[in-house]
Structure formats: C-alpha cells, structure tokens
Copies of this chain bind each other. A is one copy, B any other.
Amino acid sequence: MTIPGPIDPPARLLMGPGPISAYPSVLRAMSAPLVGQYDPFMTHAMGETQELYRQVWGTTNDATVLIDGTSRAGIEAALVSLIRPGDRVLVPVFGRFGHLLAEIAERALAEVHTIETAWGQVFAPSAIEEAIVRVRPTLLALVQGDTSTTMNQPLGDIGAICAKHGVLFYSDATASLGGNDFEADAWGLDAATAGLQKCLGGPSGSAPLTLSERAVEVVRSRSKIEAGIREDGDASASDFVRSNYFDLGMILDYWGPRRLNHHTEATSMLYAARECARVLLLEGRDAAIERHRVAGAAMLAGVEALGLVVFGDVAHKMNNVVAVEIPEGVPGDAARQALLEDFGIEIGTSFGPLHGRVWRIGTMGYNARKDAVLTTLAALEAILRRFGAAVPAGAGVEAAADVFAGRG
C-alpha cells in the first residue's frame, strides 16, 4: 500500500450538533508528553481533573471521574453499574437519545418502561411523577438535552420527585453540560454523564461522570476485584456488574486512594478533559453558560430573520443548538454539502422522524462566538439563495448582530 501523509484536516467551522471545533488550548493539551499511570504527576492531574469536574457538575461528589470512551461509554458505565438484571427502569423519551438510554438499559437486562412525548416537546414533571408512581422503577434515566430535537428537559423538580419515591435519578447531560444550567447536587442527581464534544469544546473520547453517595453504595454492593490483582480479604460479589470495563466500582478504586489497577487511563484524553474544564472555569461556569445563551439567541434570531421556520418548543430549546425546517424546494443534503465545500462550515442533518426535514445548527463550546455565528449566517444566506430560496439580504447577520449588541 501507499502510506498516506501526516493527518492534515481541512479548515472547518463545525456548527452542527457536535462534535464541534475544539478550543485551541484543548488541542494543544493533547500534544503534551505522556507520563506513567502512577507517576505522582499523573495521579495529581487526575485529582485536579476530579476537582475541576466537581465544579462543572455543581457537586461535592467524591465519585467524580472520567470514563475512557465516548459519551455513550459514560452512559453505559452508569446504567450497567446501577441496573441489576430485572430492575425496572423508567425512560421518558423525547428524542433519539431517550431511545438510546432505553436500549442501553435493555442490554443491561432491565425491565424498561418508556413514556414518550412528541419530538420537539419536553415532559412536565407531573407526567414523570405519574409514570414513576405507575411503574415503580428503581431508576429514572432521563436525557437533559437531546440534540435530535434540540429540547432541554427541565430537571430542577425531578430530583425531589425521585427522592420522594425512592428512585435513583440518572441524567445524560452529554449535549447540554457547560452550555446550559446543570446542578448535580441542587437538583438531586444520583448519576450524570457527559462528553467533551459539545459545550465543553473538546474531542469525543472521554466521558465525565459523577455519582452521589447513594449511587456509590449501589455500585459498591456489586463490587468485584480481578483475580489477577486480588488480595486476601478482598470480597468479590456474586451480583456482579456484567461488564469489567464499565464496572464503576473498579473505576472508583482506580481513581481513588487504593489506585487499584484497572484500565490504563487514556492520558492524552485526560489532558483534554482537564483543559476543557479549566477553560470553562477560567471563564466562569455561569459566564460560559451565558455566552451560550447569547450565541444561541443570536443564531435563533438570525435564522428566523432569514425566514426559516424553527422546529420545536423554542421556550425549551437548549442554548446551544437550533433546528430549522429545510425550506420547500431546497435540497437539504446538497445545500449542506455546498456549505461545507465552499465555506468550510458544517451544519447537521437529522435522525428518525426529522430526517430530511430539518437542519440542526449548533453554537457551542469554542464556537459559541459572535464571529462564528455571523459567518455561519452569512454563508447560509448565500447557500439558501443559490438553491433558490427567497432570503432577505443581510437580515440574518443583522438580527444576530443585534442580539450580540444587546439590541435583540
């Protein structure tokens, strides 16, 4: 074979639903030299990363770690460690990622019950409580932000409902964390997971996770120590987690003071995750969320000013992504391709019932910026015009600029 040259990606402004362009300092962090997995520098960096993510999550949970894999790995680690085969699990589904939680819970042999709402809507807390009363689950698994519909499910009242009914409360905050409010402790979360490739502005491949003490107890009650490193006196549960890689008991023993060998921590991804949190906290968590709010509002104003119809319940939209109906007569994929090829700008297609009907445009992480928003709107206007849509000249850019200027 001919051996290809060094990786040399084209210039891209990633304005889809994620992954998005990483913060430059996150990319730089990944090129830092490796150290050994028990090097004092490494264990210190792991500890710093835990502390940084406690701030990001809004928690004092000791059990705040990274899972070495994509955001989906974090979801599976939480679910497979918390669900015993046969457990009843309730999953309110308001988009693709609710289906994913249900599917992962099924793989963990849960008895899965779902409630569904139309794509583009969220659930009222009362609907979730009603289902909890009916299903009597051990675990509620609820997506916060589902990029497939752009909706942001309010979580503020759910923790108290779960506590009242003795239900563990897990949320998948992959798409929302860092760009929308999330308060793990104040909202009564028992488990939450995320990824770096959305509002945290890093690459996919590391999944922040946090567990309450109650969740840790469940995980610990199923703990198992590998035969190859087990010592006399170590217990090994028979009710074990049906995964070694995702056994949170083992993962906590690796991150915790025992430092029991499990996987070899993905050093470069740890560096990336650490830098993502560092960038967020240097800006200030609330300031970063506000930046996402403004950028999202500007993009929303811009697409509306271009005459595009926004999909879903805008009052419950995530800050960081908007879905717009593809105008009648415009070939959605060809237009997206032209935007990519001629402007280097990526926007997203859609899944399931929205496939071919809407585009999804993101404003997250590093790209929740004025220049990124205005550039995208200018390019989108040009592409829409090229494909025959009637668009008011300059209106998208002006409307967005007004929002950034505080006039929106």
Q: Are the CB atoms of B228 and A148 closer together than 8 Å?
A: yes
Type the 1/0 row for A3-19, where 1 means its CB is closer than 8 Å to any CB of B: 11011111110101011
Known A32-B7, A245-B76: A267·B352 in contact at CB below 8 Å: no
A107 to chain B, nearest CB (A): 5
Q: Are the CB atoms of B52 and A3 closer together than 8 Å?
A: yes
Task: Give the chain B neighbours of A33 by CB distance below 8 A.
Answer: 9, 11-12, 21-22, 27
Task: Give the chain B neighbours of A263 by CB distance below 8 A.
Answer: 69-73, 204
Which listed residue, B34, B73, B103, touches A12 by the CB 8 Å rule? B34
A281 at interface by CB-CB < 8 Å: yes
Which listed residue, B19, B69, B265, touches A267 by the CB 8 Å rule? B19
Q: Are the CB atoms of B25 and A39 closer together than 8 Å?
A: no
Known A69-B69, A70-B68: A34·B9 in contact at CB below 8 Å: yes
A309 at interface by CB-CB < 8 Å: no
Q: Are the CB atoms of B35 and A16 closer together than 8 Å?
A: no
Task: Give the chain B neighbours of A12 by CB distance below 8 A.
Answer: 33-36, 39
A227 at interface by CB-CB < 8 Å: yes
Task: Give the chain B neighbours of A268 by CB distance below 8 A.
Answer: 22, 27, 30, 203, 205, 268-269, 272
Q: Are the CB atoms of A69 and B72 closer together than 8 Å?
A: no
Q: Are the CB atoms of A227 and B103 closer together than 8 Å?
A: yes
A91 to chain B, nearest CB (A): 11
Type the 1/0 row for A265-277, where 1 means its CB is closer than 8 Å to any CB of B: 1111101101100
Q: Which residues in chain A, 21-79, are within 8 Å of chain B measured between CB atoms?
A: 21-22, 25, 27-37, 39, 41, 45, 48, 51-52, 55, 68-73, 76
A278 at interface by CB-CB < 8 Å: yes
Q: Which residues in chain A, 100-119, are within 8 Å of chain B measured between CB atoms?
A: 100, 102-104, 107-109
Q: Are the CB atoms of A70 and B346 closer together than 8 Å?
A: no
Task: Give the chain B neighbours of A272 by CB distance below 8 A.
Answer: 268
Known A31-B31, A243-B243, A278-B3: A229·B197 in contact at CB below 8 Å: no
Task: Give the chain B neighbours of A379 by CB distance below 8 A.
Answer: none
A282 at interface by CB-CB < 8 Å: yes
Q: Are the CB atoms of B108 and A242 closer together than 8 Å?
A: yes
Bound-complex Cα distance A46 to B65 (A):
29
Known A107-B240, A244-B103: A265·B204 in contact at CB below 8 Å: yes
A89 to chain B, nearest CB (A): 14
Chain B residue with Cβ nearest A14: B36
Known A99-B227, A204-B263, A229-B96: A16·B36 in contact at CB below 8 Å: yes
Known A39-B340, A264-B19: A103·B226 in contact at CB below 8 Å: yes
Q: Are the CB atoms of A41 and B10 closer together than 8 Å?
A: yes
Chain B residue with Cβ nearest A269: B205
Interface centre among A6, A8, A102, A108 (most CB of B within 10 A): A6
Q: Are the CB atoms of B73 and A41 closer together than 8 Å?
A: no
A249 at interface by CB-CB < 8 Å: no
A399 at interface by CB-CB < 8 Å: no
Which listed residue, B29, B72, B98, touches A245 by the CB 8 Å rule? B72
A227 to chain B, nearest CB (A): 4
Known A73-B69, A240-B107, A242-B108: A100·B203 in contact at CB below 8 Å: no
The 3 A-B pairs at the shortest CB distance, nearest first, are namely: A205-B266, A99-B228, A96-B228
Given contacts A70-B266, A72-B245, 6 further A-B contacts (CB under 8 A): A7-B274, A99-B228, A100-B226, A104-B244, A195-B264, A245-B246
Show 7 residue pairs from A and B whose CB-CB distance is below 8 angstroms, ordered by the A residue: A7-B274, A27-B33, A76-B243, A80-B243, A96-B228, A103-B244, A109-B242
A-to-B contact residues, CB < 8 Å: 1, 3-4, 6-12, 14, 16, 18-22, 25, 27-37, 39, 41, 45, 48, 51-52, 55, 68-73, 76, 80, 95-100, 102-104, 107-109, 148, 195, 197, 203-205, 224, 226-229, 240-247, 261-269, 271-272, 274-275, 278, 281-282, 340, 346, 351-352
